[in-house]
Amino acid sequence: EVQLVESGGDLVQPGGSLRLSCVASGFSFSNYWMHWVRQAPGKGLVWVSRINTEGTSTSYADSVKGRFTISRDNAKNTLYLQMNSLRAEDTAVYYCARGKDQSHWGQGTLVTVSS
Q: Does 102 bind another protein (CB under 8 A)?
A: yes
Return the residue of 44, 54, 75, 115 that touches another protein, per CB under 8 A: 44
Specify the stretch interacting with another protein by CB under 8 A; choose among 9-17, 39-47, 70-78, 83-91: 39-47
C-alpha count within 13 angstroms, C-beta hemisphere, residue 53? 7
Q: Does 27 bind another protein (CB under 8 A)?
A: no
Query: Is 111 in contact with 90 (CB distance < 8 Å)?
Result: yes
Distance of CA 5 to the CA centre of its chain: 11
28/59 with CB nearer another protein: 59
Strands 34-39 and 45-51: antiparallel
CB of 18 to another protein, least distance (A): 20
Return the residue of 35, 70, 80, 81 that touches another protein, per CB under 8 A: 35
Q: Measured over all CA atoms, what is the biggest interatomic distance in the chain, rounded to whole angstroms?
A: 40
